């Protein structure tokens, strides 16, 4: 029986060096089936996703392979014919819907411009598409511009644009990264429904194994541009035979039980690094001398998957032990920071209502809720970056002003804030060392020599090699940037750290490293307010939880009590929407 999608031998090569950044990737999909493609940043996932549409980034070329969709080999077509097939046979949904939507055009214009239909028929088709993706289809909604939509609505519009011409394959590149759990659940259900109702195959690219476990029928694990394991959803995630797949699973947090997250040591190979033997061998705890010289083939494993590992017979049935949590820090009874009766708004519209809570010295307090619940507004109030607020803020037993400009220099130093976006939180014109030296000189008046020593000590604390001190943000990965941002906060010797969604865009391994780093800081007496929508991460790090809904605290208590036995229906709905990888142990 012919498969709807038959992909084989996809190879993408750097023009300058001749090195392959994606090598010999292939799989098949039937109608209505979803393939999940997982791996860390740098594994080749997005390069593969674009290659399926016949695209390669600047400086690279697709040098081999076939992408057969509904009997047509897209890569064998002339460029003109290939352009016509994009949309008709294969469509693409990017991670950031803002890159797919024109901010200056209304939705009606953007959704109809690709349809070769009379205006009335095109609008009718668009209304049907919006109904399909569960969005309003009235004129008022069609006249909106992208900035007037939420992130989840923007993503659904991007999906509607992708399916407008009735493609047989849709490629989704990290479409739910950064979305809250409820919105993510809606998007995932939409993908499943579209595939089932339209007999359409989908390739879902993600670093989130819990998302892939929920949406995919089959899973392909990539590392270093190669497929290292593939098979059914259950086969790969419950009985992984490759050490890399097992290492990824060990880094995934659980919303139902607490365990230490184990980051994968080292880093993924760069495109210019020479490779001999197994591509994962330099980071593998199970590698032998043979692994460093012999490149394994993708072959059937005892667990029923295909794995590229010389030792897969031993690995397939070995238990995957999750190290238990061993929180050595002791939370003090002393309240380090408290907020009472906090009300805040934007442009006269109130968005926070009588918010009150306290965080003890050495405690991690998580603030959770959906997008729009008021989490970020609240965190900006606490650090003094939001002016339209009133309430009582108490820090180290003394009231502090609402805005940072009115606070003492010591208070500003002792309350530090880490922003969500690791790409925008560092000055791109300053080296890592300069970024960390500025607060040292401002708060402590350190000399250049003293600053250099303290910068290197801070980088070592967040596991960034000292040689990176001279690097600029553009030369760092997202995880490295986030750790540098944490180091910049730590050089100020804070007593309270406010973290706003600091792990939402990170790979599971990098997320594990950041979570374990923050957990270790609690033992030094540092207090942390951890703002997030990810309840699995909350279970891993937080001692207590505050749940925000529509700007109000609807539930609070210890992490175990709130997440195990939530009393408010809103908290229960968040837990129900939180995904988990149920892997065999």
Q: Is the pLDDT of residue 261 over 70?
A: yes
CA-CA-CA-CA dihedral for 382, 388, 389, 395, to nearest 10? 30
Q: Which SS3 state, helix, strand or coil, does residue 563 take?
A: helix
Q: What is the mean pLDDT of residues 174-182?
A: 82
Res 420: pLDDT: 78
Q: Which of 202, 207, 233 is nearest to 92 (CA)?
A: 202
Identify the DSSP state of 317. Answer: T
Instruction: Characterize the bridge pairing of strands 389-395 and 90-93.
Output: unpaired
CA distances from 447 to 431, 443, 490 (A): 17, 12, 18
Cβ-contact 388, 344 below 8 angstroms: yes
Q: 572 pLDDT exceeds 90?
A: yes
What average pLDDT does range 387-397 have in this prediction? 95
Q: Is 568 exposed, middle or buried (0-12, 13-18, 19+ CB in 10 A)?
A: middle
What pLDDT score was predicted for residue 509? 87
Predicted confidence at residue 471, as pLDDT, reads 93
| Residue 178 to residue 152: CA distance in whole angstroms | 10
| Residues 307-350 pLDDT 10s | 999 998 887 667 666 666 655 455 667 899 999 999 999 888 99
Q: What is the C-alpha to C-alpha distance for residues 106 and 86, in angstroms, rounded to an integer? A: 23
Residue with tokens 């805005």: 403
- Helix 569-577 crosses helix 181-198 at what angle (to 10 degrees)? 50
Question: Which secondary structure element, helix H or strand E, spans residue 90, and what is its range?
Answer: strand 90-93
> With contact defined as beta carbons under 8 Å apart, do 455 and 440 qualify?
yes
What is the model's pLDDT at position 171? 96
Asked if pLDDT for residue 542 goes beyond 90, the answer is yes
Token pair belonging to 559: 């992490």
- State the Cα angle at 511 between 212 and 434, rounded to 5°: 140
| pLDDT (0 to 100) of residue 152 | 78
> What residues are paired with 500 via a beta bridge?
531
Q: What is the pLDDT of residue 425?
A: 81
Q: Provide the pairing of β-strand 34-38 with 60-69.
A: unpaired
- pLDDT given at position 326: 52
Confidence of residue 3 (pLDDT cuts 50, 70, 90): confident
Pairing of strands 299-300, 306-307: antiparallel
What pLDDT is stored for residue 585 in this prediction?
43
- β 389-395/364-368 pair status: unpaired
| CB-CB neighbours of 300 under 10 Å | 12
pLDDT in tens, 473-526: 888 877 788 889 999 999 999 999 999 988 877 888 888 988 988 898 898 889
Region of 369 on the Ramachandran plot (φ > 0 left; ψ -120 to 50 alpha; else beta): left
What string of H, E and C letters represents the secondary structure of 429-490? Answer: CCCHHHHHHHHHHHHHCCCHHHHHHHHHHHHHHCCCCHHHHHCCHHHCCHHHHHHHHHHHHH
The predicted structure's pLDDT at residue 484: 92
Tell me the C-alpha distance between 551 and 354, whole Å: 9
Average pLDDT over residues 239-257: 92
> Within 10 A of 581 (CB to CB), how many other CB atoms are there?
20
Comparing C-alpha atoms, which of 362, 395, 389 is closest to residue 541? 362
The Cα 95–Cα 176 span in angstroms is 7
Q: How many H-runs (helices) and E-runs (strands) does the chain carry?
A: 20, 22
The DSSP bridge pattern shows strands 415-418 and 496-500 to be: parallel
**Residue reference for tokens 């009997």:** 71
- Give the DSSP letter string of 19-34: -EEEEEEEEEE-TT-E
- pLDDT confidence of residue 466: 85
End-to-end CA distance of the chain: 36
In this predicted structure, the answer to whether residue 105 has a pLDDT above a threshold of 70 is yes
Q: Is the pLDDT of residue 243 over 90?
A: yes
The answer to whether the Cα torsion of 300, 302, 305, 309 is positive or negative is negative
What does the radius of gyration of the chain's CA atoms come to, in whole angstroms? 25
Which residue in this structure is represented by tokens 């500003």?
A: 412
Tell whether the torsion through CA atoms of 37, 42, 44 and 47 is positive or negative: positive
pLDDT at 355 over 90: yes
DSSP-H helix ranges across 71-163 = 79-88, 107-112, 119-132, 139-142, 151-163
Alpha-carbon distance of 530 to 237, in angstroms, equals 29
**CA-closest candidate to residue 484, choices 521, 507, 455:** 455
Token couple for 463: 């596991």
147 burial level (CB within 10 Å; 0-12, 13-18, 19+):
exposed
Please count the other Cβ atoms lying within 10 Å of the Cβ belonging to residue 410. Answer: 10
- DSSP, collapsed to helix, strand or coil, labels residue 249 as helix
User: pLDDT tens digit string along 122-145?
Assistant: 899 899 989 888 889 999 999 999
Confidence label for 167 from pLDDT (cuts 50, 70 and 90): very high
DSSP-derived secondary structure letter, 299: E
- Tens-digit pLDDT profile for residues 23-64: 999 999 999 999 999 998 888 998 999 999 999 988 999 999
Distances (CA, A) of 353 to 162, 345, 373, 411, 557: 40, 9, 11, 25, 19
DSSP string, 169-207: EEEEESTTTT--HHHHHHHHHHHHHHHHHHT-EEEEEES
Look at residue 559 and tell me whether its pLDDT is greater than 80: yes
pLDDT above 90: residue 467: no
Nearest-angstrom CA–CA distance, 136 and 128: 10
Query: Is the pLDDT reported for residue 260 higher than 70?
Result: yes
Q: Which residue has the higher pLDDT, 392 or 315?
A: 392
Take residue 212 and report the two structure tokens written for it.
């892939």
Mean of the per-residue pLDDT values of the chain: 90
Query: SS3 helix, strand, coil % of the chain, rounded to 5?
Result: 35, 25, 40
Model pLDDT for residues 422-466, shown as the tens digit of each residue: 777 889 999 999 999 999 999 999 999 999 999 999 998 887 888
Residues 6+ apart with CB under 8 A from 373: 548, 549, 550, 551
């Amino acid at each position: 029986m012919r498969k709807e999608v038959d992909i084989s031998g996809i190879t993408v090569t750097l023009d300058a060096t001749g090195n392959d950044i994606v090598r010999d990737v292939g799989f098949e999909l039937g109608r209505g089936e979803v393939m999940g493609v997982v791996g860390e940043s740098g594994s080749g996932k997005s390069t593969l996703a674009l290659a399926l549409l016949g695209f390669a980034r600047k400086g690279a070329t697709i040098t081999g392979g076939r992408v057969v969709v509904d009997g047509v080999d897209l890569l064998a077509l002339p460029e003109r014919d290939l352009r016509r097939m994009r949309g008709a046979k294969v469509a693409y949904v990017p991670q950031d819907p803002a890159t797919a939507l024109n901010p200056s055009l209304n939705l009606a214009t953007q959704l109809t411009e690709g349809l070769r239909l009379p205006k009335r028929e095109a609008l009718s088709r668009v209304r049907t598409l919006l109904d399909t993706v569960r969005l309003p289809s009235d004129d008022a909604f069609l006249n909106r511009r992208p900035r007037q939509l939420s992130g989840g609505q923007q993503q659904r519009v991007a999906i509607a644009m992708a399916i407008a011409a009735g493609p047989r394959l849709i490629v989704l590149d990290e479409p739910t990264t950064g979305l809250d759990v409820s919105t993510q659940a809606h998007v995932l259900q939409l993908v499943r429904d579209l595939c089932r109702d339209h007999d359409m195959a989908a390739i879902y690219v993600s670093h989130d194994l819990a998302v892939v476990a929920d949406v995919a029928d089959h899973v392909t694990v990539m590392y270093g541009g190669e497929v290292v394991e593939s098979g059914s959803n259950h086969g790969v995630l419950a009985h992984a035979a490759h050490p890399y797949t097992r290492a990824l699973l060990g880094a995934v947090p659980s919303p139902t039980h607490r365990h230490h997250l184990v980051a994968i040591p080292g880093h993924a190979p760069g495109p210019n690094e020479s490779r001999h033997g197994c591509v994962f061998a330099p980071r593998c705890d199970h590698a032998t001398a043979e692994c460093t010289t012999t490149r394994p083939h993708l072959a059937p494993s005892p667990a029923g998957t295909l794995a590229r590992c010389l030792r897969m017979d031993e690995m397939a049935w070995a238990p995957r032990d999750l190290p238990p949590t061993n929180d050595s820090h002791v939370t003090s009874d002393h309240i380090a920071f408290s907020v009472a009766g906090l009300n805040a708004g934007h442009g006269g519209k109130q968005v926070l209502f009588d918010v009150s809570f306290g965080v003890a010295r050495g405690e991690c307090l998580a603030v959770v809720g959906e997008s729009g619940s008021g989490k970020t507004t609240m965190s900006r109030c606490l650090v003094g970056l939001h002016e339209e607020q009133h309430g009582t803020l108490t820090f180290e037993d003394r009231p502090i002003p609402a805005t940072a400009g009115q606070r003492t220099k010591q208070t500003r130093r002792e309350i530090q804030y880490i922003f969500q976006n690791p790409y925008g939180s560092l000055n791109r014109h300053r080296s890592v060392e300069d970024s960390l030296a500025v607060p040292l000189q401002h708060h402590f008046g350190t000399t250049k020599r003293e600053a250099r020593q303290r910068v290197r000590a801070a980088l070592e604390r967040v596991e960034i090699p000292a040689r990176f001190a001279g690097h600029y943000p553009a030369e760092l990965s997202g995880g490295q940037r986030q750790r540098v941002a944490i180091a910049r906060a730590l050089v100020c010797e804070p007593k309270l750290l406010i973290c706003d969604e600091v792990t939402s865009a990170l790979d599971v391994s990098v997320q594990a490293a950041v979570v374990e780093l923050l957990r270790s800081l609690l033992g030094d007496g540092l207090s942390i307010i951890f703002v997030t929508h990810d309840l699995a991460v909350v279970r891993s790090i937080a001692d207590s939880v505050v749940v925000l809904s529509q700007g109000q605290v609807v539930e609070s208590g210890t992490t175990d009590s709130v997440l195990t036995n939530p009393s408010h229906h809103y908290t229960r709905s968040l837990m129900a929407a939180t995904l988990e990888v149920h892997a065999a142990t």
